[in-house]
Structure 1
Amino acid sequence: MRITTLLTVLVGMIFLSSAAAAPRAEYKIVTASKTGTYIQIGNDLAKWVADPAGIDLEVLESKGSAENVQRMRFEPGVKLALVQSDVYQAFLDEAKAGNADAGNIIRPLRLIMPLYDEEIYFVARADSPLESIHEIKNKKISVGPLGSGTALTARTLYQLMFEEPISAANAQYLTNEDALVKLTVDKTIDVAIIVAGQPAKLFADMKPEARKFIKILKLDESAPESARAKKTYFPAAIRATSYPTWLTADTPTLTVKAYLVTYDYGLQSTVGNLARFAESLCTNFDKLQANGHPKWKQVKLELPALSQGWRYYGPMEKRLRACIAGQRSLNTPTPTSTKTQAPTRNCTEQEVVLGICKS
């Protein structure tokens, strides 16, 4: 083992062990509903990352990404959040367009690292004539709760596919559970759009009889509406192995990226705690993949270049890059080089969904 590699490992061990001597920090992470994937990811981070770093991390439920951005910015104790990429970008776009509230919320936020792709489920009744995603135009749709990432995703996708916004008369802002009731019992909506990384508890807990009541609409790659959607979202599949009790075949769909987010903290104690969290995230990454939610197996321990306006949190980025480089050195027999990648008015519907309406 080279001297520089050994020093990197030792420094990391000393850095983490110092957490045991210091008082444990009490932080919070905002996730999503109790039946979604985000809350399971939050529990994994609390157990396998925060605890070894000397942090008691409380995992909080929420409506989803749009609410998480605001709670990350303003709620005391919330130091971490899980946020969809399109929601983060929507806030940046609103800020760039001159929305002062959006700018005040998003500009101080920083990324820690990208996580995984979340599947987008278009759920219809089993007896519905609808078969493909591009057939949902002018249908009554549950787009997710106000303040949720799902609502933003659903509206953005609809706009992309049909080049017009979903009408207020056809959009219902329901929780996942309420949407399934309205879909299958009341039959007052035609489609429920749900965003969740597979396997999602909401669907994994369903019994085989579920296929008598609901089905997943598929992505038709040949449809022009699909081509327009793929300008922002990415094709993937909802695997039958994720839901073996009620899916009999893989279903093509679209995905959106999930990110772990924090704030541009300057208080030294917070900077130190979050740096330890980053070190622990790197050194315990194998435990996350071995013991955590299956989605961790899709996460790569890397910090790719970001789009304009997106920024990593410097202290955590520095610690992560050093740890990642050290681990690569341990697994590489010969030296390798690594590159560092660098006034009152009526609110728009977009602002209402993002939760930044003040009319």
Structure 2
Amino acid sequence: MKKRKFLLFAVLMLALSMFLAACGGGNDEGGTDTDTDEKATDDTPKFMSILTGGTGGTYYPLGGAFAKIVTDGTSIDTTAETTGASAENMQSLKDNKAEIAFTQTDIASYASEGKLMFEGNAVDNIQAIGTLYPETIQIVTTEKTGIKSVEDLKGKKVSIGAPGSGTAANAEQILEVHGITLDDIQKQDLSFDESVSGIQDGNIDAAFVTAGTPTAAVEQLSATETVVIVPVEADKADALIEKYPYYTKDEVPSGTYKLGAAVPTVAVQAMLVVKSDLSEQVVYDVTKSIFENLDQVTHAKAKQISAEKALNGVGIDVHPGAQKYFDEKGITAE
């Protein structure tokens, strides 16, 4: 009797073990499928944001065009967002608030190295897609202010750009090589649109605008006022470039804003950066979509953008996905 009970108990235990094993196997297999699904979701996001700048600058219209191109080319729903531009965009990527952003090359370098406005707060999760076009530093005023030189800005109400923008750093550095500090001007922290409104209303005298030319906000100003672009003369440009090598000499061409002659100034480069944790395939697709569909971008600045120049002056690491695209095209930095 005891033997029979023991055998019955053993059979029941064996059946229970097989049942539990089957359940465990099912859970393990289900867990593997879930992990795979999550991995696919992580590698290919359903939505992406491109951080741009103010509506009166160049980033915003270009960002809108790029967002449509990326959506069409990757099937990832991509939108452009207006922001305070370069420095704010770098912080937003660090805070995982977006995936792609416009910025200046100098600001991207400051962010990755933890310098200037990023001191003690380095952004370690960004990599480059590539550079786009020169971002011209335009010191904008009107004929009626009488301002003709950088030195004339002393004591005047001058907008140096939105808080957190790359324009503010450019303004401070340009003033510096002219022997002027922010204490020597009545500093205003305004977006491009706010700056233009301020000049039109007589509330400010001049504004720094770092953007591709022609810049929409300044074009609007030229419709009602005689615009003056204050020059950065060659000797001061040389001094600036010697101290801050990411600058290059540039000019605002004759005819822009109805100017009668070209005005010498300096520029940095606009660039696109991405979060470094985006997959190689996603960034490859984004890079290819943008550079192979520039004919769909109606903004005048698109004529200056090309894959062949995209690795020039990048200044930070290029994302492997973007690098794969450039390698396929045989493109290297000049």
- TM-score under structure 1 length normalisation: 0.71
1:149 paired residue among 163, 166, 174: 166
2:131 paired residue among 111, 114, 120: 114
Of all paired residues, the percent bearing the same amino acid is: 23
What is the Cα deviation at residue 24 of structure 1?
Answer: 7.8
Render the CA deviation track for 1:95-153: whole Å, top value 9, x for unaligned: 5999432x2xx222101101100111112231233212354345432101111121122
Residues 313/219 of structure 1: CA separation in 2 closer, same or farther (3 Å cut) = same
**Contact 1:46–1:57 (CA under 8 A) maintained in structure 2:** yes
**Contact 2:282–2:321 (CA under 8 A) maintained in structure 1:** no
**Contact 1:161–1:226 (CA under 8 A) maintained in structure 2:** no
1:171 paired residue among 183, 187, 190: 187
Distance in 2 separating the partners of 1:306 and 1:150: 18
Distance in 2 separating the partners of 1:53 and 1:128: 50
Which protein has the larger Cα radius of gyration, Structure 1 or Structure 2? 2
Distance in 1 separating the partners of 2:78 and 2:118: 35
Residues 179/205 of structure 1: CA separation in 2 closer, same or farther (3 Å cut) = closer
Distance in 1 separating the partners of 2:224 and 2:274: 42
**Contact 2:67–2:79 (CA under 8 A) maintained in structure 1:** yes
What's the secondary structure of 1:167's corresponding residue? helix
Structure with the higher helix share, 1 or 2: 2
What's the secondary structure of 1:230's corresponding residue? helix
Residues 292/73 of structure 1: CA separation in 2 closer, same or farther (3 Å cut) = farther
Gaps of at least 5 residues in structure 2 are 1-42
Structure 2 counterpart of 1:236: 250
Gaps of at least 5 residues in structure 1 are 1-21, 326-337, 343-359
What is the Cα deviation at residue 201 of structure 1?
Answer: 1.4
**Contact 1:142–1:192 (CA under 8 A) maintained in structure 2:** yes
Distance in 2 separating the partners of 1:136 and 1:107: 37
Q: Does 1:128 align with 2:145?
A: yes
What is the Cα deviation at residue 207 of structure 1?
Answer: 5.5
Structure 2 counterpart of 1:335: none
Distance in 2 separating the partners of 1:60 and 1:135: 36
Q: Does 1:293 align with 2:305?
A: no
Q: Does 1:316 align with 2:318?
A: no
What is the Cα deviation at residue 93 of structure 1?
Answer: 4.6
Distance in 2 separating the partners of 1:181 and 1:295: 24
Residues 283/123 of structure 1: CA separation in 2 closer, same or farther (3 Å cut) = closer
Residues 198/169 of structure 1: CA separation in 2 closer, same or farther (3 Å cut) = closer
What's the secondary structure of 2:325's corresponding residue? helix
Q: Does 1:29 align with 2:50?
A: yes
Residues 92/134 of structure 1: CA separation in 2 closer, same or farther (3 Å cut) = farther
Structure 1 counterpart of 2:236: 225
The alignment yields a C-alpha RMSD, in angstroms, of 3.0
What is the Cα deviation at residue 177 of structure 1?
Answer: 2.8
What is the Cα deviation at residue 158 of structure 1?
Answer: 1.8
**Contact 1:31–1:81 (CA under 8 A) maintained in structure 2:** yes
- TM-score under structure 2 length normalisation: 0.75
Name the aligned partner's letter for residue 165 of structure 2: S
